[in-house]
Structure 1
Amino acid sequence: MTGKNEDPGSSSTPTDTTMSSKSSVQRLPPPEKPEAVWTRFKIIAAFWAVIVFLGFPIWWKTTSIYRARLPVQEMVEWADGKTCRPVFPLEIRFETPSLPDSEAQHLLRTTQHTLDDLNEFSAHHLRLKLSEDTLAANNRDERQLHITTDGKADTALIVRLLPQDDLTSPRSELHLDTTQLDVYYPPSQIPPPSSSNPPLSAYIAGELQQLFTEEKAIIAQILSDNNAMGSTNTPASSNNQQPSRMLNSISPQLAETISRRLRRSMKYADTYHLAFSLFAPGSSPSSWDIQPAVDEYIAPLLHAFAPISNFTVDTQVQLYATFSPTAPPPEYDESQATWTLKQEDLSAFINAAEWPLSPSIGNGPTINFILYVPAPSQSPMVVKESSATSWIIPQWGGVFILNPPLSTATGAPSNPTHLSQASLGPAFLTFSHQLLTLLGAPATPTSLPFRLQTLIRIRAADLLLSASSTMGSLARLTESLPSIPIPAAVATSVSTTLSHLASACVHLREGRFQAALASARVAETEAERSFFEKSMVGQVYFPDEHKVAVYLPLLGPVGVPLIVGLLREIKRIVASWKARRAGS
């Protein structure tokens, strides 16, 4: 009975259980042979050996960024003004042919003492010396004087003392074509040996102080701007505060003159391109004597500027040059019988859209000079507020309106077909003055050689500080962006820059300003070349995310099997090691 109630399907016999276990055992893979395990280990090891010892070094070598070593600390010290503090010892030669040796030396000492008392800016100081001619004339017995000349420093000014009997007080006259100041004095004002502050010494010191006032103010402005842009982590020393004190002591008129000059003048360049253009609204004038005019009025000026910059000259004639449609047209003034341009409309006078004025020719900036001959129906044409016929466009160029002469037959203006050299004289004389302003020459004094010597000292200081600042910027750039390359050419340019900066600083300290400017020009050129190196600029905006996006699609499919195989082999070795340790 019991057997009938049991489920036949649920019954199991020992024979069935034994057969099921045997079939499961037969389905398991056979154990690996030691030879197969060793072969798999060697394959994985070979792959990783190729990756580690061949692939990775090749990848590292081909993708590594070359960074030449730069003297970063020295570059930063130049930028912070710790290496060189520009000074300007100006050597002034005294010629005293009418004074004996003792009186000449006494006058020199008292004048130098008065100058030192008047000077509030120690970075710019005047050093008085007797000229070699005076020493030779006053020392027939070949005695060695205390004041001698070394023949190294540039002579900033020659002061020639000339007695004049009909004078009651001293007077001075600066030569327009040389750097010589003639001081005429009554013989009664020769200081006796016992006097400590004679009137003649005070007069000479005052005249010298006045001649160099604008130069001191400009240099103080340059040094003050450089101190303001320098590091704020170091406390300001008394030397750094002197430029500010000097600027505070100058008159508001002189400060405005300097500010206007800085706004108008162009940034320094090693080469400038001068473009003289003749524009006429009609078919005449169609020719002009440009070459003789340039040779007479511009070429001597360019020759005088040769130690400072290089120049190229281009000319062009453009006929049917009309005003811009958007520019306000000239207005007729019946009271003056002239066509006038408003002061606020002068900036729109140039028709930049249609007039062929190239903004730049070559590497250097272009200074444009526009000679515009208005149509007879709109002549004469002047500026309404000042009745002027010329003006300067700051940091661009100058414009001169050449109104045509009145016809002898009709009495009305008529444009000639050709402009002679004589008719171009006023325009090019104005262009020469505008060129001086655009190049940054000081407004005073009247002597052109004196102003050019001042400009040499100003440019030397400006370039020295500019190149130093560029070195600091380059050092900070390379430190903040470690992924950009630094070619060997950059290291060479930096080395050249620092060498010429040191040379310029030494020349300034010893009063050799032309040599200082030459070294500073090289330093500025090399500094700009190193900072704007193309291979460096191209890597500045290449973040690491771009590298991941490039490598991941290539290395992902290849790297995953290799890493998984390596992990399995490591797991097998660890398990085998544990089994051997447990069995022992």
Structure 2
Amino acid sequence: MSTPEGVDASSAPVTSSDGPGSSSTRHGAATSRRQPPPEPKDSLWLRRAVILSFWLVVVVLGLPVWWKTTAIYRAELPLQTMTDWADGKICKPVFPLRIAVEAPIAQQDAQHLVRTTQHALDDLNDFSAHHLRLMLLDPPLAPNASQQVVPDGSILEENDKENIALLVRLVSVETGTTPRSRLQPYSPTLDVYYTANQLPSPSSTGSPLATFIAHELHKIFAEEQARLAYLLSTTSGARTAKSKSLSAETAAELERQSTRALKYAPTYHLTFSLFSPTYLPSAWEIEEALQDYLSPLLDSFRSISNFTVDTQVQLYSTFSPSMRQPEYDDVLKAWTLRKEDLSGFINAAEWPLSPSIGAGPTVNFALYVPDQAQSPLLVKENGGNSWLVPQWGGIFILNPADAHEDSTPSFLAKDALAPAMHAFSDQLVSLLGLPQSPASLPLRLSTLTRVRAASLLFSASSTLGALARLYRALPSIPVPDMVAQSVDLTAAHLQHACDSLREGRFQGALEHARIAEGEAEKAFFERSMVGQVYFPDEHKVAVYLPLLGPVAVPLIMAGLKELKSMTGSIFPKRSP
């Protein structure tokens, strides 16, 4: 077939006049021409090298830097030791009290009396953690000798004399009822009066005099035993210690006293405030009154706690609006406040009570001088003019008649403040937790020392246990090295305090327990650790996901694509 003239043969339509297979051959040639050319090996390895370099930067550099900069440092803590302290497995507190006996009789008779009294005392004691140990002092050696022999043959060193809880002095008399005793109010001394025929014979195993002394000693330290037994029974981790059973009335009274008293602190801040609804009185002789009536009491507490004192005067101080106004009582011939209104007597919104200064708690003592138109002002139920506010302070209403004035005085002298100072002293004693018996103030202070030492020991041990539980429960919080150091110091001072209790050195036990309590509180309330408690893991996910998502998706998809390509080249698909 000929091609028309002027027409290019290459552009002419193709008419298939060949066999049947010519059409499929042309279709396969056209398809092969549409596929891209194979990628050069140099370009393929370059792309893979780029992807691999990104992954290497992420894995080798990015992840370690992220891990290092975001890792939470947690110092190692002795968790098992901390838990053992909290469970009471390390220290079983005991309170051995040394009772010195001074008997102006023959040495052999004195030793026999002490042994007989010790047996009678052991029979009365039902609290093994608190026991009294009698020691015999030799009066001729007391002024100059540095050592004294006790009945069991041991030596009483000069330094141990400071740890004697009570001195029993035997005084021979010929008149009056015997045996009888007298406890010195301002000295830890018990005078026992007896006659010569009341001494036990060398062959006897008991005597009325020994029994009398044993009962007197047991009675003197009965409240201390009850307080320590109550403390052991109510403190977690100390319940495993052997304790005496308390009656329901005794337990209720001890609980009432514990809820009324302030928590122990090395330093208390005392604030004495004068409030008046008018412009009178405008001044008071408070410094002299504090020096004469309160300073001796504060000095006696120096071995337990320290005190700072400040005063203030606030005029035109009105009652709280929420409190019922005073009512006149015809029977008492006085204005009265109802007992249920006493809690709202302090107008905290307008009366500028001094806030806490320093680390110690503030104890407030308010002296209120009512207006002459509402004087005298008393409590309706009991006719009193003072009351105690648990764990806060005390209030005293000084009526002009109490100040020996016919009208409201402009100045309160020291003598006029005497009733208020005596009331404040009693209230302070109650707030500090001083026992009510025995009648000797030094003995009550020594009892308070032992109770405070034991309570601080239990409190610090409990704080260690709480910190150990927090460490295990929250692995995401940081624990700096200072926490570990505080824990080590706490454990060390707790051990010293426990050893001091066993040895009868109660003042040293109080000092060590005080340090242990402070270090335990410091470790538990570490700022950097407490702040992370409120930053859970969900917050971290919410922060990291928007940042890492756009970067991670392309890298992961590119990596998967290359892995698929490499897998396909190594294991090619077989055509059917």
Counterpart of 2:393 in structure 1 is 397
% identity of equivalent residues: 54
Letter in 2 for 1:348: G
Look up the SS of the partner of 2:312 in the other structure: strand
Given that residues 403 and 416 in structure 2 are in contact (C-alpha distance below 8 angstroms), is that contact kept between their aligned partners in structure 1? no
- 1:341 pairs, out of 337, 340, 349, with 337
8 A contact 2:267–2:305 mirrored in 1: yes
- Alignment match, 1:202: 211
Q: Which residue of 2 aligns with 1:73?
A: 80
CA RMSD of aligned residues (A): 2.5
Contact (CA 8 Å) 2:493, 2:512: kept in 1 or not? yes
1:173 maps to amino acid: R
Q: Which amino acid aligns with 2:412?
A: L
Tell me by how many angstroms 1:308 deviates: 1.6
Q: Superposition pairs for residues 33-44 of structure 1, below 5 Å?
A: 33-44=40-51
Distance 1:190 1:272, change over 3 A: same
Q: Residue 49 of structure 1 is aligned with which of 27, 45, 56?
A: 56
User: Which of the numbers 542, 563, 566 marks the counterpart of 2:559?
Assistant: 566
Counterpart position of 2:10: none
2:226 is aligned with 1:217: yes
CA offset digits 1:163-183 (Å, max 9, x no partner):
111034211111111111111
DSSP 3-state at the match of 1:246 = coil
**Partner of residue 178 from structure 1, selected from 166, 181, 187:** 187
In structure 1, which of residues 272, 284, 289 is the aligned counterpart of residue 285 of structure 2? Answer: 289
Tell me the SS of whatever aligns to 1:350. Answer: coil
TM-score by length of 1: 0.90
- Structure 1 counterpart of 2:472, which letter? E
| Deviations 1:196-241, CA, capped at 9 Å, x for gaps | 1100011111011001001100000010011xx349xxxx86xx3x
1:123 equivalenced with 2:126 (yes/no): no
2: distance between equivalents of 1:148 and 1:286? 62
SS in 2 for 1:156: strand
Equivalent residues of 1:485, 1:536 under 8 A apart: yes
Separation in 1, partners of 2:253, 2:362:
24
Q: CA deviation at 1:185?
A: 1.2
State which of 26, 32, 36 in structure 2 corresponds to 1:29: 36
Partner Cα separation in structure 2 for residue 138 and residue 423 of structure 1:
48
What SS does the aligned partner of 1:157 have? strand
Counterparts of residues 294-313 of structure 1 (less than 5 Å):
294-313=290-309
CA offset at residue 540 of structure 1? 1.0
Q: Please list the CA deviations of residues 105-145 of structure 1 after superposition, one character each: whole Å capped at 9, or x if unmatched.
A: 11110111111000000000001111354655999xx9996
Structure 2 spans left out of the alignment, 5+ residues: 1-14
Q: TM-score, normalised by structure 2?
A: 0.91
- Which residue in 1 is equivalent to 2:91? 84
- Residue by residue over 1:550-578, the C-alpha shift from the partner in whole angstroms, topping out at 9 and shown as x without a partner, is 11100111001111111122222222222
Partner-residue secondary structure (3-state), 2:394:
strand
Q: Cα gap change, 1:361/1:12 in structure 2, threshold over 3 Å: closer, same or farther?
A: farther
Q: Is the 8 A contact 1:283 1:319 kept in 2?
A: yes
CA shift at 1:387, angstroms?
A: 1.5
* Aligned partner of 1:111 among 112, 117, 131: 117
Q: Does 1:190 find its partner at 2:199? A: yes
Kindly state the Cα deviation for residue 149 of structure 1 after the two structures are TM-superposed.
0.9
Query: Could you tell me which residue of structure 2 aligns to residue 489 of structure 1?
Result: 482
Change (3 A) 1:247 1:143: closer
CA distance in 2, matches of 1:529, 1:402: 43
1:477 maps onto 2:470 in alignment: yes
Q: Distance in 1 between matches of 2:134 and 2:493?
A: 29
- Structure 2 matches for 1:55-66, cutoff 5 A? 55-66=62-73
Q: Contact (CA 8 Å) 1:129, 1:148: kept in 2 or not? A: no
SS state at 1:160 partner: strand
Contact 2:487–2:523, Cα closer than 8 Å, also in 1: yes
User: How many aligned positions are there?
Assistant: 555
For structure 1, list consecutive stretches of 5 or more residues without a partner in the other structure: 1-7
Cα distance change, pair 50–434 in 1 and its aligned pair in 2 (3 A): same
Q: 2-side partners of 1:136 and 1:336: how far apart?
A: 59
Quick one: distance in 1 between partners of 2:293 and 2:37?
106
Q: CA deviation at 1:151?
A: 4.1
Select 2:444's aligned residue among 434, 447, 451: 451
Q: Could you tell me whether the CA contact under 8 Å between 2:230 and 2:251 is conserved in 1? A: no
Paired residues of 1:379 and 1:413 also in contact (CA < 8 A): no
**CA shift at 1:354, angstroms?**
1.2
The residue type equivalent to 1:270 in the other structure is: P
- Per-residue CA deviation, residues 11-31 of structure 1 (Å, 9 max, x unaligned), is 998666544433332221111
Instruction: Name the SS for the 2:43 alignment partner.
Output: helix
Residues 433-442 or 180-189, more deviating: 180-189
User: 1: distance between equivalents of 2:428 and 2:19?
Assistant: 118
The answer as to whether partners of 1:130 and 1:148 remain within 8 angstroms in 2 is no
C-alpha displacement of 1:496: 0.5
Contact 1:406 1:413 in 2 (8 A): no
Whichever residue aligns with residue 322 of structure 2, its letter is T
Amino acid at match of 1:160: R
Contact 2:261–2:432 under 8 Å retained in 1: yes
Q: Is the CA contact 2:137–2:149 (under 8 Å) kept in the aligned structure 1?
A: no
Distance 1:203 1:406 in 2: 46
CA distance in 2: counterparts of 1:572 and 1:386, whole angstroms: 98
**Letter aligned with residue 106 of structure 1:** H
User: What is the SS of the residue equivalent to 2:571?
Assistant: helix
Distance (whole Å) between structure 1 residues aligned to residue 268 and residue 351 of structure 2: 21
Cα deviation for residue 88 of structure 1 reads 0.2
Aligned pairs (5 A) from 1:224-263: 224-226=233-235, 229-230=236-237, 240=241, 242-243=242-243, 245-248=244-247, 252=249, 254-263=250-259
Report the counterpart of residue 9 of structure 2 in structure 1: none
Question: What is the DSSP-based 3-state SS (H/G/I as helix, E as strand, rest coil) of the residue aligned with 1:511?
Answer: coil
Residue 375 to residue 144, structure 1, CA distance change in 2 (3 Å): closer
C-alpha separation in 2, matches of 1:285 and 1:129: 57
CA distance, structure 1, for counterparts of residue 403 and residue 245 of structure 2: 56
For the 8 Å contact 2:137–2:150, the answer to whether it is kept is no
Amino acid at match of 2:321: P
Counterpart of 2:499 (choices 495, 501, 506) is 506
Q: Residue deviations 1:226-266, cap 9 Å, x none? A: 1xx349xxxx86xx3x42x3314xx83x4444233112101
Q: For residue 157 of structure 2, what is the amino acid of its counterpart?
A: D
Q: In structure 2, what residue type is equivalent to 1:225? A: T
Change (3 A) 1:407 1:441: closer
Q: Which residue of 2 aligns with 1:430?
A: 423
Equivalents in 2 of 1:44, 1:576: separation in Å?
18
Equivalent position amino acid for 1:112 in 2: Q
Task: Answer whether contact 2:188 2:443 (CA < 8 A) is retained.
Answer: yes
Maintained 8 Å contact 1:93/1:157:
yes
Q: What residue identity is the alignment partner of 1:215?
A: E
Aligned counterpart, 1:4: none
- The residue type equivalent to 1:84 in the other structure is C
Give the Cα separation in 1 of the matches to 2:224 and 2:159. 22
1:312 Cα deviation (Å)? Answer: 1.4
Pairwise CA distance, 1:307: 2.1
Q: What's the CA shift for 1:519? A: 0.2
Give distance in 1, aligned partners of 2:69 and 2:187. 63
SS of corresponding position for 1:47:
helix
SS for the counterpart of 1:31 is coil
Kindly provide the CA deviation profile for residues 295-332 of structure 1, in whole angstroms up to 9, marking residues without a partner as x.
Answer: 22222222222222222112110000011122011111
1:3 aligns with none
Report the secondary structure of 1:215's partner residue. helix
Equivalent residue letter for 1:335: V
Aligned match of 1:279: 275
